[in-house]
Amino acid sequence: MPAVCQVCHTGNPPESRFCHECGAALTARHTPLAPSPSPARETGVRDIGTDLKTLGADLATYSAPRIKRGSAATARLAKAAAVAAAPRVKSLAQRLKSYRPEPPPPSIPANYAYAADDIASQGPPSASAIACPRCHRVSEPGSLFCFSCGLPLDDAAPAATGRAPAYAGQPAGFWVRLGAWIIDFIILGIVEIPLIAVWPGFDEYFAANAVWHEVDLLILLLNVLYYTIGVSVWATTIGKRLLGLYVLRPDGSNAGPGRALARYFASVLSALILGLGYLMIGLRNDKRGLHDLICDTVVVRR
C-alpha cells in the first residue's frame, strides 16, 4: 500500500520514510494543530472597561494608605501652624477691632465754601447745597454725582445735616479690589486644604458621581463665615485690609451681619452672569458692582 502523507495527502512508495512532495516524515503520524482562536479574535473588541476597572482598583489600593498618611501629616502640620499663629491672629483681630482712623476734615470747594469767621454771621449753607455722604464735600445744586469721589447724590442730605463718614476715602477701583480678592482666595485655600484633607469623605470626594458633595458644603460654609464676619465686624477682610479697603454703607456706617451675608450671595450672582457684575466696577463712576448696588454698599480705599 502506498504511504500517504498526512500533511499534503500525496501517495508515496511503501518504503518511503519522507514525503516526496513536502518532505514530511511518513513514519510519525503527526496531525498539524490548527491555531486556537483567541478571545480577542472571536469577539473582535477588547474589553477596555474591564481593564480600566482593574487599573482603577489597583491605583486605589496603592494610593489609599499613602493618602491617609499624607492627610495625617497635613493635619499635624495644620495643627502646629494654628497653635503657632493663634496669638498673632488674636492680636491682629484686636487691633482691627480697636483701630478706627480719624476722618480728615471736610474740604469744601472755594466756590461754595464759607469762611470760618463768617459762619456765625452767614448761618448754615443753603438747603440746595448737597453734601456727598462719603467724602462730605459740597457739590453744586442739581448734581447727580459727587464731583470729588463720583458717588451718587440721590440719597444725600443737605450740607448742614449730612452725616460725617466713618471712613473717608475714594471708591476702590477694579484692579485693587481684584488684588484683595486674590489675597483672600489664597488665605482661604491655606485654611481649607488641611480641613478637606482630614474630612471623612475626602477619599470619595474626587471619585463621587454626585453633583453636590458634603466637602462642597464645607467649603461654602467657610467662605460664608469668612466674608460675613469680616465685613460685618471689621468692615473689611484680611486681603482688603492689607490694601486699605473697607466695605461700608453709602452714609459711612458699617454693614450689619444680614447685609454682609446678603452681599456674599449677591457676589456669587455677579460671578454667575459671566462676571458682568464685577465688570461694572470698572465701568461705573462710583466703582460699585452689581452686588454693591443690590446690598447698597460701597468699597472705599483709605
Q: Is 181 exposed, middle or buried (0-12, 13-18, 19+ CB in 10 A)?
A: middle
**Cα 225 from Cα 59, distance rounded (Å):** 37
The least confident of 17-31, 97-111, 178-192, 209-223 is 97-111
* Band of pLDDT at residue 102, cut at 50, 70 and 90: low
Give the mean model confidence (pLDDT) for residues 129-139: 69
What's the pLDDT at 185?
Answer: 92
What's the pLDDT at 166?
Answer: 43
**Report field, pTM of the whole predicted structure over 0.75:** no
With a CB cutoff of 8 Å and minimum separation 6, the contacts of 230 are 236, 237, 238, 240, 260
List pLDDT tens digits, range 249-291.
888 788 888 999 999 999 988 888 888 888 988 888 888 989 9
Q: Which residue has the higher pLDDT, 290 or 11?
A: 290
The least confident of 41-50, 119-128, 190-199, 226-235 is 119-128
* Band of pLDDT at residue 37, cut at 50, 70 and 90: low
Distance of CA 119 to the CA centre of its chain: 53
What's the pLDDT at 28?
Answer: 54
Domain boundaries, the chain: 1-32, 127-164, 168-301
Highest mean predicted confidence (pLDDT) among 38-42, 63-67, 149-153, 202-206 = 63-67
Q: How far apart are the first and last CA of the chain?
A: 118
Distance of CA 175 to the CA centre of its chain: 17
Give the mean model confidence (pLDDT) for residues 29-57: 62
